[in-house]
Structure 1
């Protein structure tokens, strides 16, 4: 039996437009969900990303290119981590998950609105997106750093939805990611769910900031996680 997981607003975008900064400088971003909740993001490059706070019940950590979801036990006395990519490679539900994967874009149309919008100090192009009667504005940029972070965080959300046997929850994110890539501006500043609220360079983070803590138990799947409770 899989533990119940409430997915918080973690899918995220982040960027750096500081030309004087090193190519892989650490940055801190705050991303706001359409519900009004927010999440902090630490980012160095696509192989080193932390979404959420280690004190929370669930957060994402990409360490040395390996994407983990880190979860607290129900009683709070243990923490577990699963490599999401490896989990899905062993699961039939992982077919086509490599992001954005096989996404049906039939009915999805984007119309440029001939205006730009500044978000987090970055200027993005604004599009009106239509998807079978549902419409929203999408603000995108071709900034390479924003694109890298967008892909890393959207990938985490999409993988998590499949791991939790909720593939329909991944579809809107997968569509939006693929659409942005098709527009030639794969960095998403504002979408259906998430908006970049702030972005700033951070003090250089120790490598430990992007490593699993020693006390976290790495498990292969839900069953191994449940067995480890005993």
Structure 2
């Protein structure tokens, strides 16, 4: 963990954002989970929402002394330990390449790896759900092989299919529903991530584990 402190910025008058220092890794994310649990019980806090190595804190009403709150938040970060959330493990069958994995060749070309190497390295890890965001049910996954890092698209796509498995920078994730994307789509799964009729609409939660199973590769 970096010795530098977190960056804390105001989001209007109703929220603040804490951005953690250091690497985008599981220990940092566990510290974010720990801080979220602590902050959720503070007076005046409506919600503490973990992101990927960041935490958004929303207020019931704006604090009368925002500077005091920010100082307390910074102190809480300094004292926070790591919370190890161990959720369930799920397996998702993925078809790599083809019409719904149209960026597979681009990722192979950028990384200098073969199609088979890209697929094997992407499917190898047991990923951890770092946070939910972007759209309902979407999970940001930690643990991707660094050799698959690809810069995000200069021009985002207007829409990709729900279930699209994509890479953006050093992260990977799966679109829970159709929508725009600035990531590179390399495959597709038929897994369902969100259903408002379920008791808990989002299928996954922070701390859950995801393993991709290679269903087939379309070259």
Range into which the TM-score falls when normalised by the shorter chain: under 0.3
Larger Rg: 2
**Greater relative contact order (Cα < 8 A, sep 6+):** 1
Q: When the two structures are superposed, what TM-score results if normalisation uses the length of structure 1? A: 0.20
